[in-house]
Amino acid sequence: MKTYKVAIIGVGKIVEDQHLPVIAKNPRFQLAAVASQRGIEVTGAPTFRTPAEMYQAVPDIDAVAVCTPPQVRYSYAREALDAGKHVLLEKPSTTTVGELLDLRDHAAAGKRVLFTTWHSQYNAAVEAARRALAGQAVTYLQINWKEDVRRWHPGQKWIWLAGGFGVFDPGINALSIVTHILPDPVFIRRADLTFPENCDAPIAARIEFAAARPFEHLGADFDWRQTGEQTWEIEIGTAAGNRLKLAKGGSRLDIDGQLVAEEPMAEYEAIYDRFATLLDDGASLVDEAPLRLVADAFLIGKRITTDPFYD
């Protein structure tokens, strides 16, 4: 089986915590180079300030993982496709749905693989929930995704800029699970978005969803101000009377109070295994559904102002 030479564009916390160690232990990939505007070096691979310099110096790169802040992800992905590289996009894939659809079409035209990596979908419990809900009518949904931004994003100013997503940076993880496991789509009916008075991205959001079928309650609460124990839970009820609960970020599933699936998180291991298969098959995987829900929340959202945020 072919070993693919992969390069990383943008070196931050998620790259150091996930991409680098996962690539290092996956025999299907070899880290060929890194592009870092800040000049961050990675052991065992040459570092370049720009992707253009990297492509010129290491022309046999097969694929790139674009892990920059989302505001510049589109331009780097488009440049990579133009250079003939396959592209893995860290989440959120782009800042707008239009950008993502353009990348999808551009990759197809150039016969390149484009892969949107919604990492929370790659849990065994999430897949078990999808199977359990197949053919069911969902009447109840409540997402509670609450964490401490100072713990998970210390000093990351880009998240508070326009296009930085704010609390939707983790919230889109929950939405990616919901769009993956529900048998029918949900839509944004109302969104209350709470912005610190000195930021251009929300620190909290309360959402009401709607659906084509009759439902009892469909909602979500996202909050970046929760200290202590962190909450990443999704509760779902069906017309047949079943109750499902995904907890621990989607790594544990209980149905009607009984544990069904719980495994240690290995999301990025599964992502790179999937990427290898997509590269083998020459097939793209582009899922815009989570991004579309976030875009719709901003489109119809009510802006609420709260105290300023200082990291």
Q: Please compute the mean of the pLDDT values over residues 190-194 and round it to a whole number.
A: 99
Residue 159 has pLDDT above 90, yes or no: yes
- Residue 106 has which token pair? 């551009």
pLDDT at res. 265? 85
Strand segments (E) across the chain: 4-9, 29-35, 47-48, 63-66, 86-89, 114-116, 138-146, 187-196, 204-210, 217-223, 231-238, 243-247, 252-255, 258-262, 302-306
Q: Please compute the mean of the pLDDT values over residues 109-133 and round it to a whole number.
A: 97
Examine the residue annotation and report whether 91 is marked as an active-site residue of this protein: yes
Per DSSP, 25 falls in state H
Per-residue pLDDT tens over the stretch 66-80: 999 999 999 999 999
Q: Which of 13, 25, 91, 111 is catalytic?
A: 91
β-strand partners of 122: none
Q: What pTM, to 2 d.p., does this model score?
A: 0.95
Per DSSP, 224 falls in state S
Non-local CB neighbours of 119 within 8 Å, separated by 6+ positions: 18, 91, 173, 267, 268, 271
pLDDT at res. 39? 87
Residue 155 has pLDDT above 90, yes or no: no
Structural domains of the chain, with CATH: 4-116 (3.40.50.720), 120-263+296-306 (3.30.360.10)
- Provide the pLDDT confidence category of residue 165 given band limits of 50, 70 and 90: very high
Q: Please compute the mean of the pLDDT values over residues 166-192 and round it to a whole number.
A: 98
Interstrand relation of 187-196 and 302-306 (parallel, antiparallel or unpaired):
parallel
pLDDT at res. 78? 98
| CA atoms of 136 and 184, how far apart (whole Å) | 9
Per DSSP, 119 falls in state G
